[in-house]
Amino acid sequence: MFTSKFYVNSPIFLQNIIVSLVYLIRKILRDNSKTRAYKKELYENEYSIEKSTEYTQRKLKQTLKNAVENSEFYRNNPDIDPDNLDGFPYISKKDLLANPKAFTAEKKPFPSFNVSTSGTTGSPLVVATPLETLVLEEAFISRMREWAGFEKGDRRAWIRADQVVPAGQTKAPYWRTSWFDDMLIMSSYHITEEALPLYLEKLMDFDPAIISIYPSTITVFARYLESQGKYYKGNLKAILTSSESFAVEDKALVEERFGSRVVEWYSMVERASAITNCEHGNYHVVSDYAYTEFLDAGDGRHEIVGTSFNNPLFPVIRYRTGDYLVLKEDQSCPCGRVYPVVDRVHGRIGDYLIGENGQKVHVLNTVPKGVLGVLACQFIQDRLGYVEAMVVANKSVFDDAQEQKLIHNIRLHLGHSMEVGVTLVETLPKTRNGKVRQAVCSIKDVPQPEIETVE
């Protein structure tokens, strides 16, 4: 819709009307009486172990029964007992990509949609999704917003993948307004060093209670504020992030410069697990979202293995997410909710660079640490022994000394023999979902084992 010739060539006031109508339709479809009824049921699970357990077992039983009856992969496995989760095999994204049709239920409800992953670390996965699933998802997201303090009538800002501003537009405003839900929708594709103060000025003028945004994008804003010695002036209740991992240092910087807590929402298109933090900052596994198992990975870490409750059209059972967590020893939380308490989540091991000894280095968030003026950074590698750093910088701060510090940090991670180039750019390329990849490595078939660096 927003990339159509009619929309792109329309004046801004008409684009605002179109945006408002599109989001109104989305709201009607996703946030309705069913959503509110389901959310009410979810709230009943939060403080009662008995109700939460009963709900989880009931949903698990329905999910297993549906998978065996309607999904080719599970129906054709003679070892599976629909009443016993332990008999179901572990699966991974590789299995889903190899034969998605085998996992798709044969009874297809109407209406249904194809929802895909971003494919930033490999091939995108297309998941068949009925409207009912989107309604259920909205119930969980709405509850999470309320945990963050959002109330009816509060304003929101939305800075994600919606291309509401034409790609060729070269001057502000880089945002449009959804009037019916009082939401400011800002383009994540037009954020440059020159445009950053305009974005921040508009945000403070609009004064939303909640900002929904990618971690990488809000970090760019926070680094800009830091480089200017400034703080965000507004009445934020929370900053809601999802779809990417947050470096501890970046999250602390965002909370400092924006004077607001960050609420992270971890989930996936496969609907196999969800984790979020409550009003006390503790992370909880959202037990009524999916059935979550914790597969021991050593060193106190557990791989998150999930069984989806909310998509009967694409049932995934015992899905190995490739993400890891550490559970807190003390499982109590001042919020009183009965959901498992998580110490920390280790994001999916995906983007990487090849170090001097052929090792794959995944943890790159800390490379810009201590380098003044770096607003955003992406690493490109197409041959062994060389890395190009693409840097969006505050040029008044990022001088030759800071560039050398960045090069030094890259070599600390990858090896002192690495050749490093630094290129200043106005903006970094984004995926079709509006996210920025941390690293793009086109080197294939390096035989050495993977190593995750730890700071």
**pLDDT confidence of residue 452:** 33
Rounded CA gap, 144 and 160, in Å?
Answer: 18
Taking the model in full, what pTM does it have? Answer: 0.79
Residues 279 and 172 in one domain: yes
Q: What is the mean pLDDT of residues 187-195?
A: 83
**Mean pLDDT score, 53-62:** 95
Helix (H, G, I), strand (E, B) or coil at 45: helix
**DSSP state for residue 125 in the 8-state scheme:** P
- Residue 352's pLDDT is 75
- Predicted local confidence at residue 122, as pLDDT: 44
Asked if residue 179 and residue 314 are part of one domain, the reply reads yes
Structure tokens at 332: 């109590």
The total domain count for the chain is: 2
CA-nearest of 90, 50, 92, 59 to 312 is: 59
Closest CA relative to residue 115, chosen from 123, 99, 132, 127: 127
The whole domain housing 367 covers: 353-451
380: which strand partners?
388, 440
| Same-domain pairing of 384 and 406 | yes
373 pLDDT band, cuts 50/70/90, is confident
Please provide the distance, in angstroms rounded to a whole number, between the alpha carbons at the two ends of the chain.
44
pLDDT score at 57: 95
Q: Tell me: do 223 and 85 sit in the same domain.
A: yes
Please state the rounded mean pLDDT for residues 444-448: 52
Q: What percent of the chain has pLDDT over 90?
A: 55
CB 368 within 8 A of CB 409: yes
pLDDT score at 215: 84
pLDDT at position 271 over 80: yes
Q: What is the pLDDT of residues 130-179, one digit of tens each?
A: 999 999 999 999 999 999 999 989 999 999 878 899 877 889 999 999 99
- Strand pairing category for 175-178 and 112-116: unpaired
Q: What is the pLDDT of residue 455?
A: 28
pLDDT of residue 399: 92
If asked whether residues 119 and 192 sit together in one domain, one would say yes
* pLDDT tens-digit series, residues 332-368: 999 999 999 998 877 554 567 888 777 667 657 668 8
Q: Decide which of 220 and 255 is more confident.
A: 255
**Residue 433 pLDDT:** 58
CA separation for the pair 254, 222 (Å, rounded):
5
365 and 306 share a domain? no
Which one, of 75, 167, 87, 86, lies nearest residue 434 by Cα? 167
Could you give phi then psi for residue 276, rounded to 5 degrees?
-150, 170
Percent residues over pLDDT 70 in the chain: 92
Is there a contact between 106 and 136 (Cβ–Cβ < 8 Å)?
no
Last residue of a domain, one of 330, 346, 362: 346
Confidence band, pLDDT 50/70/90 cuts, at residue 98: confident
CATH number of the domain that residue 383 is part of: 3.30.300.30
Sheet of strand 156-159: strand arrangement? 175-178, 183-186, 156-159, 210-213, 238-242, 262-266, 275-277, 283-285, 341-346, 319-327, 301-308, 290-298
20 occurs within a structural domain: no
What is the mean pLDDT of the segment spanning 113-117?
78
- Show which of 305, 322, 346 is a domain's final residue: 346
Beta carbons within 8 Å of 190's beta carbon, 6+ residues apart: 165, 169, 174, 427
Q: How much is the mean pLDDT over the chain?
A: 87
Judge whether 122 lies within some domain: yes
Q: Answer yes or no: is pLDDT of 318 > 90.
A: yes
Examine the pLDDT at 408 and tell me if it is beyond 70: yes
Q: Are residues 333 and 376 in the same domain?
A: no
**DSSP 8-state symbol, 452:** -
Is pLDDT above 50 for 430?
yes
pLDDT tens digits, one per residue of 203-219: 999 999 999 998 878 98
Does 88 score more than 90 pLDDT?
yes
